[in-house]
Amino acid sequence: MKKAIVGLIGLGLLGGAVNVMASPESDRQEVIKYFTTKYPNISIEDYVYGALAFDADSKAQYDAIMEFPPYESVLEKGRKMWETPLKSGKKYADCMPNGGRNIAGNYPYFDEKLGKVVTLEDALNACRVANGEEAYKLGDKGTMGTLTAYMRTLSDGMLMNVKVESPKALAAYEDGKKTFYSRAGQLNFACATCHIQNAGVRLRSELLSPVLGQTVHWPVFRGGDNLVTLQSRYQGCFKQVRHVPDKQGSAKFNNLEYFHSYMSNGLPMQASVFRK
């Protein structure tokens, strides 16, 4: 497996490979150490802004846009979906702890009974099916994407709190970690190639975003009201490196999201946000 892992400067990996048996928390601390060493003038809290943390002008433009977000109508549609009773007469809030407030930062989580990682989208679809509705298609921005975008606003500011607490959960986390660091596709890139090793570097005209804080703000709205979900972005990244992507909701992508989200633990959720 070591041959499949990207060697990175920092993380104690110069010319080496990821220590796949390190604990999740030590992984996260090593990532923090890497970025604070490479970019000492950027505070950890600022990484919730993604690539904007590296460019003050872009951050100022973002702040101006966020005064009057161009996607308010989408969130309003999501609010109506959230509040509309399902066929059983219950609402989504009835399925969720605390009525769905301040819980999104706990996702994904490993469900011991199901023996797999459960994402927030999975939980919403489970609620739909349990109350007589058909599951939404994952990645459909008009249904699941819109509903998730609104629900995550109910946890805005919540600190990410993904947990890995059992051997099976750790195995899922390690599988996601392997995907994140493994080179793939005709371009032979890994997620880590862009989002750790080259985070803050320009690719064409755009700065590459860091893994720290990367999962706190999905779905995002690109260029206005074009909603993009996290796993649809995974698919896009895979295609960009000329690698056949998995389906959204696959074990591979759910495990990747599990690892990916753990790396942002302790950072506040930012929902919903604009990106280029």
Note whether 18 and 181 are within 8 A (CB): yes
Contact, 176 vs 2, CB < 8 A? no
**Do 7 and 14 form a contact (C-beta atoms < 8 A)?**
yes
User: Cis bond leading into 219, ω under 30°?
Assistant: yes
Distance, CA of 104 to CA of 47 (rounded, Å): 19
- What's the token pair of residue 253? 């992508």
* CA atoms within a 13 Å half-sphere pointing along the CA-CB vector of 128: 17
Which long-range contacts (C-beta less than 8 Å, at least 24 apart) are formed by 131-138? 131/86, 131/87, 131/88, 131/90, 131/95, 132/86, 132/87, 132/88, 133/86, 133/87, 138/229, 138/231, 138/247, 138/248, 138/249
Q: Which is the catalytic residue, given 95, 127, 194, 237? A: 237
Tokens 């060493």 — which residue? 37
140 Cβ partners below 8 Å, 6+ apart? none
- Sequence-distant (6+) residues with CB within 8 A of 63 are none
Of 265, 247, 262, nearest to 110 by C-alpha is: 262
127 is catalytic: no
Take residue 29 and report the two structure tokens written for it: 């601390």
Tokens of 174: 């390690």
Name the residues annotated as catalytic.
237
